[in-house]
Amino acid sequence: MFTGIITGVGRIAAVHDLGRSLDHGKRLEISTPAHYLDDVTLGDSIALNGACMTVTSFNAADHVFTIDISAESLAKTARLDTIGTTLNLEKALRANDRLGGHIVSGHVDGVGQVAAFELVGESWLLQILAPVGLAKYLAYKGSITVNGVSLTVNRIEDTANGCLVSINLIPHTIANTALGSLVTSDPVNLEIDTVARYVERMLQFESLTSAQKDHP
């Protein structure tokens, strides 16, 4: 479990094949800020651009850790197999931590595309075209996770190609995450608000039970 509050910015330093076929995944070497790994142990969960991964080895002195990512995860996320990719890092939430963002599972629901990214006053306007399948989960003033960062939706516009989501990024977010390096057309990992999933399930179940009562 995570909160979408980034605790460090890393980089994919190396990518190694775990096999020769497309069914095999990759082993990633991730470089981190100094001392980021001081409290990390084998098996810990760290989110990479919003995708929850397991630490398989680490070298705190060299500020590097490794993770194994499956072909399935690579197919459903963006740029987690590209050397040089800048990563938003977040360690798993502890029971006594503050929930500074919102409840984030670290499971990517879909890949969106940056439609616009421009300076407006002292802040930045980030617009993302989310897949049509995620549109029903997105709401004005609701929460969305973009490359692992907990953000608030300022405006939505439903289109034939998807849902255009507008987000305001303050200078602190730009300075302390990797979102500042985004450019138009970049793919981004998206995770919807967990609460929306439960609301959908409750509505589906209520509709099913009502139909069963009407047609016993």
Task: Give residue-wise pLDDT tens across range 14-31.
Answer: 999 999 998 999 999 999
**Domain extent at residue 187:** 110-200
Check: CB of residue 78 under 8 Å from CB of residue 88. no
Domains in the chain: how many in total?
2
In a domain, 168, yes or no: yes
In a domain, 215, yes or no: no
Same domain, 114 and 196: yes
Same domain, 149 and 75: no
Same domain, 132 and 66: no
Same domain, 67 and 125: no
How do strand 162-169 and strand 110-120 relate by DSSP bridges? Answer: unpaired
The pLDDT, as a whole number, for residue 215 is 66
As a whole number of angstroms, the distance between CA 57 and CA 70 comes to 16
Mean pLDDT of all residues in the chain? 94
Same domain, 54 and 127: no
Check: CB of residue 120 under 8 Å from CB of residue 155. no
Same domain, 117 and 187: yes
Same domain, 138 and 171: yes
In a domain, 178, yes or no: yes
Q: Is 90 exceeded by the pLDDT of residue 198?
A: no
Same domain, 74 and 24: yes
CATH (domain of 39): 2.40.30.20
Same domain, 81 and 16: yes
Question: Alpha helices, DSSP H only, in 80-141?
Answer: none
pTM listed for this prediction? 0.92
Same domain, 69 and 132: no
In a domain, 143, yes or no: yes
In a domain, 103, yes or no: no
In a domain, 1, yes or no: no
Check: CB of residue 170 under 8 Å from CB of residue 123. yes
Q: Tell me the average pLDDT across 2-12.
A: 97
Same domain, 194 and 121: yes
Q: Tell me the average pLDDT across 101-121.
A: 96
Same domain, 79 and 117: no
In a domain, 100, yes or no: no
The pLDDT, as a whole number, for residue 95 is 85
Phi, psi dihedrals of residue 171, rounded to the nearest 5°: -55, -35
Establish how many alpha carbons lie within 13 A of residue 190's alpha carbon, considering only the half-sphere containing its beta carbon. 27
